[in-house]
Amino acid sequence: MPEPAPPPETPTLFEQEAAMLRSLAPQDEDAEGLLAFALHRRAVLDWAMAFTQSEGHSPGPDEVRRFLLGEATARRQQDYKERASLLLALQREGVEVQPAKPPVTTRKQKIFPWGPGMGFVVEQPTGPLNIRLLILRLTMLLLAVIVTALMLRFFVVHP
């Protein structure tokens, strides 16, 4: 009876990254390819930080290998090359490229779990003023003042 073929060896993480570098930057002086590889490494580090924050532990070799599998696709590599060429073109034109700032997420504090927030939050400070919402809030405030005054008159101040 013939012996079964041994399972194919999976490449190590180092081998996967070396293959990615060879595919993005075939020559050592390829600035666009090296920048594309730097963008890839930045994506790997960002993913690892997000994974650690969401899962509570660092990604293991299997998780990293799966992520790198998606990074090795032709479409992803072409995206990195296009972004690198765009950055180099902007740099040649003298345009200063600012790094993207991560989005800031803030939690709105609530007075009650089912109630409104404690503070006034302006969603778009430079956007147009929403007059309807402002009138609605002022009307609700006026109704609250009237109801409070009536309740004080009937329950606290006796005639």
Q: pLDDT per residue over 51-67, tens digit each?
A: 898 888 899 888 888 88
CA distance 95 to 74: 29
For residue 104, pLDDT over 90 is answered with: no
Q: Are 70 and 77 in contact (CB under 8 A)?
A: no
Greater confidence (112 vs 16) lies with 16
Greater confidence (41 vs 121) lies with 41
Reported confidence tier of residue 95, pLDDT bands at 50, 70, 90: confident
CA quadruple 50, 56, 57, 61: dihedral sign: negative
How buried is 69 (Cβ within 10 angstroms: 0-12 exposed, 13-18 middle, 19+ buried)?
exposed
Q: Are 141 and 133 in contact (CB under 8 A)?
A: no
Residue 110 phi, psi dihedral angles, 5° rounding: -115, 145
For residue 42, give both structure tokens: 């930045």
Reported confidence tier of residue 94, pLDDT bands at 50, 70, 90: confident
What's the DSSP call for residue 11? P
CA distance 45 to 33: 18
Across the strands, what pairs with 117? 110
| Amino acid 148: pLDDT | 93
| Amino acid 146: pLDDT | 95
Numbers of helices and strands, H then E, in the chain = 5, 0
pTM over 0.85: no
CA distance 92 to 98: 15
Q: Are 72 and 55 in contact (CB under 8 A)?
A: no
For residue 21, pLDDT over 70 is answered with: yes
For residue 103, pLDDT over 70 is answered with: no
* pLDDT mean over 12-19: 83
